[in-house]
Amino acid sequence: MTRKGYAFALGLVLAAGMASADEERISFPRDYKTQFENYLSLDRVQNPDQIIRLFANDVAIEAAKQGRELPVGSVIVGEVYKAKKDDDGNVVTSSLGRRVRDKLAAVAVMEKGEGWGEKFPEELQNDDWDFAIFASDGERLNKDLNTCRSCHAPLAKTQHLFSLEHLAQ
């Protein structure tokens, strides 16, 4: 291999390593069920067959209640459940018209870290928020996190959260 070829290959390896390291900067918050507050449970708006339960750490809740920007160290956790379906594959709803929760599909984590947004193109920036998705046991799932980034990016007025007003209650 030529020197230029080696340098190019090394560059690709380093870039790939940096990308995967960045993706793994968020750890699964194993204690979220006991240490975070469950502040909202609802049918997931963007997915007609899912339900989400949202939890936040004290850092996020205190800032929201005081009407401040959520600081670095804020963590939001979403338990994403599949909705129960009947034998025909239709989503089952309760007498209140709400979807009935079935199996836990994933645990989505949104965390704010110093300078985390700088590496993303403008259309994927969420200030310094980033995302990770885990199985219920904490195993990292290999999902395209740009889907999360692009969905939350337009929400700058609500600090890139769909539920800021609920967090402040």
- CATH number for the domain spanning 142: value is 3.50.70.20
In a domain, 152, yes or no: yes
pLDDT in tens, 112-121: 999 999 999 9
Neighbours of 68 (CB within 10 A): 11
**Among 13-22, 27-36, 125-134, the least confident range:** 13-22
Buried residues in 24-60 as b, exposed as e (16+ CB within 10 A): eebebbeebeeebeebbeebbeeeebbbbbbbbbeeb
Whole-number CA gyration radius for the chain: 19
In a domain, 9, yes or no: no
Number of structural domains the chain divides into: 1
User: 54 Cβ partners below 8 Å, 6+ apart?
Assistant: 38, 39, 40, 41, 76, 77, 78, 163, 166
CA distance 93 to 4: 61
CA distance 70 to 164: 10
Question: Which of the four pLDDT bands, split at 50, 70 and 90, describes residue 16?
Answer: very low
In a domain, 133, yes or no: yes
**Model confidence at 73: pLDDT above 70:** yes
Are the C-beta atoms of 114 and 71 separated by less than 8 Å?
A: no
Range of the domain at 46: 28-167
In a domain, 3, yes or no: no
In a domain, 102, yes or no: yes
In a domain, 52, yes or no: yes
In a domain, 100, yes or no: yes
